Chain A
Amino acid sequence: MESVLFWILSVVAVASAVLTVSRSNPLASALSLTVCLVAVAGLFATLSAHFLFIIQLLVYAGAVMVLVIYVIMLLNLKEREMKALGLSGPRVFVSSLVAVFVVALLARAQSGSGGFDPVSPVLDGSARRVAEIIFTSYVYPFEVVSILLLAAVVGVVVLGMKKF
């Protein structure tokens, strides 16, 4: 059951990721990316990381991608302008070369660590466990993240201010 789910989700994730880069309509790309993110969220769920699963849905698929689509809609590209965004021969060649390289690299590293098993052991991915880790061993990076976000917000406000 779990391994079937794993394969389905992986295929969906990879296929939608390919679509993300290959479609010339940016909205189609964004939608494919959303599907990809949802599929990856599903993979998290099969790893029993429920909190991560839902946060991935909530933050990436639900919020970040909406903003991306929002911007795409505001730009409202013409058909003609979209043409340039599609895949052309050299781009396909280079990107598949990189993809093959990365896959080979990961496969090599995987073979070193004793085979491949899509079904993971059941881990504790509950919110409580995640919170424990974040607020003890990763408390410092966590706080840095909040400062980072604050800085970004201040920056955006500065750029977006009506007048100085």
Chain B
Amino acid sequence: MTDVVRTGFRPSRVAIYGLLLLAALVYLIPLFIMLVTSFKTPMDIRTGNLMALPTDWTTAGWTKAWSEACTGVQCEGIRGYFWNSFKMTVPAVLISTLLGAFNGYVLSKWKFKGSDLFFGMLLFGCFVPFQVVLLPMAATLGKLGLANTTAGLVLVHVIYGVAFTTLFFRNYYVAIPDALIKAARLDGAGFFTIFFRILLPMSTPIFMVSLIWQFTQIWNDFLFGVVFASGDSQPITVALNNLVNTSTGVKEYNVDMAAAMIAALPTLVVYIVAGKYFIRGLTAGSVKG
């Protein structure tokens, strides 16, 4: 519908660009504030203001956040928790995506009696507020000896992520003509042959969507982290929250902002590199099958 709008006259164009740029500024300013504050000295923060550039740039906030800041009783910075998050996110993303790919394949190309019901159950599972599963899950993890472990968190993220990944793959594979599968079956290709030889080679985009969506969701999760992990197994989001809301000593906002930047960097980088897939995941997650 773009060609219709060509008749717009000049002043209105200026107003449109003006508003769009103003909005862009509003979205960018918190990131700007976070960045400049993280490079200031505590002195600078007290005498300057939010938008002022640092009078002398220092990375002290970053090194302190990384390896010295207190996150509760311990004062070893957030680096350990940063790696915890990686150790939790990478396996959880891979397992949930792989499961989702196979589920989506079955639910679109190998339907059986009850498979639609199963899909409905999964779809509904995307909407359930996690509060209704927290307590039983905590009890189960305790019984399994997985309480307060990274493995426990991986399991939790796989369970509550697989509904989304299945949805992604199922909707993607539904659009692939059944005739293709039928022809392959007549040629004697079996379940796995069809998946690996026919579907997998054309699945790169949806794998990207699923991997990036899951990475962002799991890295950014706070609820599961705060309920199912404690101490050494906490993910970065929980550590960041502890660091910022610890009330001991003088508040060092440069350290807070540096820690927030460190927690945000992995997902920001992924967004900048592969934003297209992230947006597809967002819209696919909301506009369902």
Q: Do A and B originate from a single complex?
A: no
Interface residues of B (CB under 8 A from A): none
Please list the residues of chain A having a beta carbon within 8 angstroms of any beta carbon in chain B: none
